[in-house]
Amino acid sequence: MESSQNAAVKKTEEKLKPKLFSVMKGYKKEQLVKDIVSGIIVAIIALPLSIALALASGVKPEQGLYTAIVAGFIVSFLGGSRVQIAGPTAAFATIVAGIVATEGMDGLVISTVLAGIFLVIMGICRFGSLLKYIPSTITLGFTFGIAVTIVVGQVKDFCGMKFEGSPIETTEKIAELVKSTSTFNPMAFLVGIISLAILIFWPKKLSKIPPSLIAVIVGAAIVKISGINVNTIGDLYTISSAPPAFTLPVVTFERVQTLIPNAFTIAILAAVESLLSCVVADGMIGSKHRSNMELTAQGAANIASALFGGIPATGAIARTAANIKNGGRTPIAGMVHAVVLLVILVILMPYAALIPMPTIAAILFIVAYNMCGWREIVNCIKISPKSDTAVLVITLVLTVVFDLVVAIGVGIVLAALLFMKRMADVTEGHDWIYVDDEDTDPDHISLKKVPDNTRVYEINGPMFFAASDKFNYILDSTKGIDVLILRMRNVPAIDASGVEMLDKITKRCKKHNIEVVFSHVNEQPMKAMEKAGFVQRVGKENFCDHIDTALIRAEKLENVVKKNRGNSK
């Protein structure tokens, strides 16, 4: 039964078929109305964000909309998720700005097209499931690093400062900020503070109306009516309302060779962020995305976005969540969002010239805060070994001081070396003998008396980030029982992802009134669970030193459950 279920899931994941073609069977008018409404709302949310992210990336305002229109439509049409919304995201802002500054727009187009080709190859070669081997310490590190670089890059516009030079690196920008303090503009700072206050407090009152839209309108009105000396988008950029047009860069073999590292970084970022967004969306709607089809669609979207004047794109978690909350359940919503943005671009884009730069900076401050994941970092530092924390910090620092290419490369190498060292330490330190035959194992489960409504699972091997999803089957095998025993005598080590998976199992069991008992938890896993507060949540009495003790505990718990049922009758 279990193997057939796993085979079915694997077959679904491997299917290179756009989700749109599957969900249109039985598509109803009621859902079409919901998808259209959701698409319009998401387009309104995406409008100021796309402009702000384009400016943070060092390109023209309309190029952010080109990205949301072209990439957004293609990802929805070809993607492996029912509800994914694609477009420009903060993750790319730093690397795109760096490429534009050093290689020009042609360099960005070539890098993005190459990244798209890499993504298509990854999808066709079924690499979707391999991205789980990038540890969370690396993604947390470079995500927080990107957030820091965005904040540093926007302080100038938020405070209305004027720079003498044109710094590219974050450290150079910090030095320029210190030198330019005399150019501080109090009026610009006031507009920025008002915009930031709207972005923070508006959702607590009227969450249905996007706070970024209100901030843009209020900020533009203040500057226009008062006539104060505050830079707007129109003061710094020439805005075009022309629709996306096909452009082809000058390509040489030497240029391609030079840009491959940047392209690889864009591809990895796009893959990780889009699949992470898909996983979050799956949890919200109870669906299952097709990871390989999603990678293929992301690749096609990035190629088209670059050739039609856009910048790199990926799945946007916030916009995808907004789509779900507003009733979107099929790719039609994402396609509507792209069409609405195209209409807005052609008709209303000239009005974007009135948006104050401090308001754009305030929007990007909120984007940076939402993406930084500081809570996850604090939790990771609390429960992870010092070596994992070191990888996180090194990746973060390298992202800020150098760039993502260096940060991701060094981070992956360090994580791989530490993982191999950890496995070697476990092998040397513990002479574990795995025995499955009841003739040679005196503690084999077949030799024990298991209570009627108790199920025992034995976990073998380390529970690390790359293996944590192997225990999903336990979640699906808890029906009709009162007690679940997890036997962990052959688990020598566990990391944050493993503890998270055990927490997920216990929460699911608690929801269904099932007690969880742990048997023979070894020293390192027990310390990790205690540091995470997991032992306290489960109850120390439910951690037994031997399978015999665990079975006695299970029998007592079963009697309590039966007694409670009898009293309820």
Output the pLDDT for position 428. 31
State the average pLDDT over residues 243-265.
93
**Cβ-based neighbours of 255, under 8 Å, separated by 6 or more:** 106, 107, 110
Contact 485, 550 (CB under 8 A): yes
Stronger pLDDT, 471 or 372, i.e. the higher one:
372
* Torsion sign, CA atoms 538, 541, 542, 545: positive
Other C-beta atoms lying within 10 Å of the C-beta of residue 545: 11
Q: What percent of the chain has pLDDT over 70?
A: 89
Question: Residue 323 — very low, low, confident or very high, per pLDDT cuts 50/70/90?
Answer: very high
- Whole-number average pLDDT of the chain: 87
Rounded to whole angstroms, the Cα distance separating 519 from 181 reads 62
How do beta strands 543-544 and 515-519 pair? parallel
Output the pLDDT for position 2. 41
Output the pLDDT for position 177. 94
Residues 185-206: tens digit of each pLDDT: 999 999 999 999 999 998 776 6
Which of these, 174, 147, 145, lies nearest to 393 by C-alpha position? 145
Output the pLDDT for position 476. 67
Question: Residue 376 — very low, low, confident or very high, per pLDDT cuts 50/70/90?
Answer: confident
E strands along 152-256, which residues?
none
Helix axis angle for 253-285 and 291-307, nearest 10°, is 130
Residue whose token pair is 């392209």? 263
Output the pLDDT for position 427. 40
In the predicted structure, residue 9 carries a pLDDT above the cut 80: no
Other C-beta atoms lying within 10 Å of the C-beta of residue 290: 24
In the predicted structure, residue 252 carries a pLDDT above the cut 80: yes
Amino acid at 261: P
Question: Residue 4 — very low, low, confident or very high, per pLDDT cuts 50/70/90?
Answer: very low
Residues 433-450: tens digit of each pLDDT: 334 444 556 666 666 788
Rounded to whole angstroms, the Cα distance separating 384 from 110 reads 39
Which of these, 38, 43, 30, lies nearest to 326 by C-alpha position? 38
- DSSP annotation of 384 reads S
In the predicted structure, residue 89 carries a pLDDT above the cut 80: yes
Output the pLDDT for position 520. 92
How do beta strands 86-87 and 314-315 pair? antiparallel
State the average pLDDT over residues 274-297.
90
Rounded to whole angstroms, the Cα distance separating 21 from 17 reads 7
All domains of the chain in start order, with CATH = 29-243+266-374 (no CATH), 445-568 (3.30.750.24)
Residues 115-139: tens digit of each pLDDT: 999 999 999 999 887 776 778 888 8
Residues 390-444: tens digit of each pLDDT: 999 999 999 898 877 788 889 888 988 887 776 655 543 332 333 444 455 666 6
Which of these, 48, 106, 43, lies nearest to 73 by C-alpha position? 43
Lowest-confidence region among 52-61, 217-226, 265-274, 459-468: 459-468
Three-state secondary-structure class, residue 567:
helix
- Tell me the pTM: 0.73
Rounded to whole angstroms, the Cα distance separating 438 from 111 reads 59
